[in-house]
């Protein structure tokens, strides 16, 4: 069956995450339904990563095995037509070899987490960023973030239901970007790693918010990491501000 790579963006708010579920609307479910309408048979779809409920994507990558080969441009257009009215879109499509895999061929995932420090609730950006009511110190957050770079046991920063065989991961980048706004300050966390644990990014974001708010000294992040204990983690940030922004492969299938 000819395999196609799809780059996908979506607003995660209406969905119970990426992974197909029998009784809830998911991104995988609506994508497979759209593909099925093009060939009259259930397609086989796999993604680079399974985002949780409410998490967004601008650079999710999935593979779809179709009954016949399609021109990539025409396939993207046809799928987008059948995805309506769901907030999901295929932004790029390419034919790939049968041994290419959206998940196992990936060598890096990239996420961005947005938090906005302002007193007023978010209206136009509701669900797209985490509104923090008090001020944030991005320099302190960057100092705390530095303790998490490199290869570590991230037991403290993964969900208790995480199914990964090992809590050891290598965090290649964790950048703290400060963006002044007329209504306050936006802080963006940019993370890069080959793979992430369940809730790892949101756990890191919630912990660094505590540092930025002045509730934790930056050195406490190192202590939390060393504890290898979920109880040592800060509060898990909501999914609103989290976006999967890209997936890297040895050779870019969309180039």
Q: Name the DSSP letter for residue 211.
A: H
CA–CA gap between residue 114 and residue 171 (Å, rounded): 18
Strands 108-117 and 130-132: parallel
**φ and ψ of 221, to 5 deg:** -65, -40
Alpha helices in the chain (DSSP H): 27-39, 72-83, 138-145, 200-212, 219-227
Choice among 52, 153, 172, 240 that is catalytic: 52
d(CA 22, CA 26): 9
Torsion 224-177-106-32 (CA) sign = positive
Return the SS3 of 252. coil
- Are 116 and 129 within 8 A, CB to CB? yes
Residue 52 among the catalytic residues: yes
Taking Cα atoms as reference points, which of 123, 140, 126 lies closest to residue 241?
126
Contact 211, 139 (CB under 8 A): no
- Cα–Cα dist 174/189, whole Å: 7
Please list the active-site residues. 52
């Amino acid at each position: 069956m000819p395999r196609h790579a799809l780059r996908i963006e979506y607003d995660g708010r209406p969905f119970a995450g990426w992974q197909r579920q029998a009784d809830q609307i998911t991104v995988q479910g609506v994508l497979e339904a759209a593909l099925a309408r093009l060939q009259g048979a259930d397609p086989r779809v796999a993604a680079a990563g399974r985002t949780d409920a409410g998490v967004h994507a601008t650079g999710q990558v999935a593979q779809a095995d179709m009954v016949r080969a399609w021109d990539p441009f025409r396939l993207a257009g046809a799928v987008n037509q059948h995805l309506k009215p769901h907030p999901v879109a295929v932004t790029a499509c390419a034919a790939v070899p049968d041994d290419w895999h959206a998940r196992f061929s990936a060598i890096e995932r990239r996420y961005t987490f947005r938090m906005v420090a302002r007193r007023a609730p978010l209206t136009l950006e509701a669900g797209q960023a985490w509104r923090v009511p008090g001020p944030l110190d991005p320099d302190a957050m960057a100092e705390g973030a530095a303790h998490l770079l490199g290869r570590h046991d991230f037991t403290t920063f993964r969900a208790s239901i995480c199914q990964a065989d090992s809590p050891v991961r290598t965090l290649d980048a964790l950048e703290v970007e400060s963006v002044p706004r007329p209504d306050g300050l936006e802080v963006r966390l940019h993370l890069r790693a080959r793979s992430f644990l369940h809730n790892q990014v949101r756990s890191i974001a919630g912990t660094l918010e505590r540092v930025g708010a002045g509730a934790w000294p930056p050195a406490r992040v190192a202590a939390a990491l060393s504890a290898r204990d979920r109880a040592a983690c800060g509060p898990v940030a909501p999914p609103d501000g989290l976006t999967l922004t890209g997936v890297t492969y040895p050779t870019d299938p969309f180039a």
